[in-house]
Every structure is written in C-alpha cells, then in structure tokens.
Homo-oligomer: A and B are copies of this chain.
Amino acid sequence: MKKELVSGLPKLWAHHPAERLECPGCQYPVITRIVYDVIDELGVEGKTILINSSACGYGIVLTTSMDAMFPNHGQGIDVATGVKRLLPDCFIISFGGDGDVAAIGAGAFVNAGQRAEKYTLIMVNNGHFAMTGGQLAPTTLMGQVTTTSPEGRGPDMGYPARMPEMIATVQGVAYSARGAANTPANFLKTKKYVKKAFQKQIDNVGFSFVEFLSACPTGWHMTPQESIKWVEEKMIPALPLGEFKDVDTLD
C-alpha cells in the first residue's frame, strides 16, 4: 500500500528544533501553522514578509524560511505599514500579541485601519502579557488573576478589549474576525478566516485583521487540557468567535 502525507510539519517551517521554545501545549505554533499553510496554499511564500512583535511569538522569526522582521513590542503594526508602503507587491503579515495590539499598539492599530493600510494583522490573544511574566492585558477576562491583578480583574481595571468588534467600525477595514483552535472545527474555521483576510490583502481592499484566542498553559498556570477548557469556557463566551466585517470595497 502506498502512503500519502496528509499533515505534518508545515511546509514553510524551517527546522530549528533547538530554538523551538514554546511551552508544551502553547497554541502560538498553531496559529503559525494556519498562517504558513494559507500562505502556501495562496502560493505567495516568495514575496511574503512576516513581521512579529508579539513577545511569545518570536519563534515565528526563528522558524520561518521567509523574510522576517522582529521589531520591538508594540511596533509591528507601524513597521508593517512601512514595509507594505515601500513594497506594495509583497505580501505582509504582522503578528501581534494582545498586549502588543490592544495596549501599546492600540493607536497604531486604529490608525492603520483608518488609513486602510493594505496588509494583514494577526493578534494572538492569550489574555495577558505572557513574555514578561503574566501581567494584565486589556484583553484579560473579568476575574482573571494575573501578576498585576492578583485578586482577579475587577471593574476598576476596566473590561476586556474586543478588538475585532471595535476595528470593524472603522471604514478602512476590509475584514475582521475572531478565531480559536479549541476544537478541530474551530481550527478549520479560523483557517478560513485567515484565508479571507489574506485574500483582502491580495485584492488590495483594505486592512484585514484576525484575532486568535490562544491557550497559554504556562502563563495561566494550568495543564494544557485545563488551558483549552479555559479558552472554551471562559474566553469564547466573553469574546465570541466569528466574522465582524467582510467587505469587498470600502466605500
């Protein structure tokens, strides 16, 4: 009997096992897989530039064989603007953490949307600042304990940011969605979102944005199983999955 490969290492993944640093059960590499696979399916690998300013996502820079950039925290959005404006024929994906996009990068985020910048931003939402030790992020859920909300997030610290809903109100935005990979079905749906977002860039419509709810077992002090459950039972109810904007023209 012949064997045919159904799924394995993403094609665009460069082998650096020594440098694959994500914690066991971390879903960062899951969204990376989705992105790499869609890039592959769209055949744009050769003209892709990946930009990552999400902290725990720096593995992306290490594991891709595509052109890549690793600017500082909070700068991946503006940096992507600079790259895309100079290389309009290139395919630009910028990864940000939730702290990255919803906190320090929020001004860049809103204005990239307002200027209708023609690239795709992926926000990996693990509900806190993982890299720096698990502090509150704007996305942190009510009641969630972090190192800067030791008693849990209360209303005095505000409410969880809903970035796709917010940016969907901005005219320059062509696509906005929230996905997760808590189930295989949601994995596949998220992949569809990512593909649509990329297509908006290829069609030069406007800014495209996908938020990804990402389990962070280490930062949450949970087993991987508990972390997936948390995504399902806590995050998704507060931050519902789905598409919030999908237009083919901005006028």
CB distance from A123 to the nearest CB of B (A): 14
**Could you give, for residues 40-56 of chain A, a 1 whenever the CB lies within 8 Å of some chain B CB and a 0 otherwise?**
00000000000000000
A162 contacts across to B, CB distance below 8 A: 169-171
Q: How many residues on chain A are close to B (CB under 8 Å)?
A: 30
The verdict on A150 contacting chain B, using a C-beta distance below 8 Å, is: no
Contact (Cβ within 8 A) B116 A110: no
- From B109, B158, B165, contact of A169 by CB (8 A): B165
Q: Among A60-68, A99-107, A229-237, which stretch is in contact with chain B?
A: A99-107
Contact (Cβ within 8 A) A104 B107: yes
The verdict on A87 contacting chain B, using a C-beta distance below 8 Å, is: no
Contact (Cβ within 8 A) A114 B158: yes
Contact (Cβ within 8 A) B116 A155: yes
The verdict on A218 contacting chain B, using a C-beta distance below 8 Å, is: no
Q: How far is the CA of A106 from the CA of B109 in the complex (A)?
A: 9
A109 contacts across to B, CB distance below 8 A: 107, 110
CB distance from A75 to the nearest CB of B (A): 12
Q: How far is the CA of A105 from the CA of B111 in the complex (A)?
A: 10
- From B103, B159, B169, contact of A116 by CB (8 A): B159
Contact (Cβ within 8 A) B114 A110: no
Q: Which residue of B lies closest to A117 (CB)?
A: B158
Q: Would you list 9 pairs from A and B whose C-beta atoms are within 8 A, ordered by A residue?
A: A103-B111, A104-B107, A105-B107, A107-B107, A116-B159, A159-B172, A159-B250, A162-B170, A168-B169
* A-B complex: 9 closest residue pairs judged by Cβ atoms: A107-B107, A115-B158, A159-B171, A106-B107, A106-B110, A116-B158, A166-B169, A158-B172, A114-B138
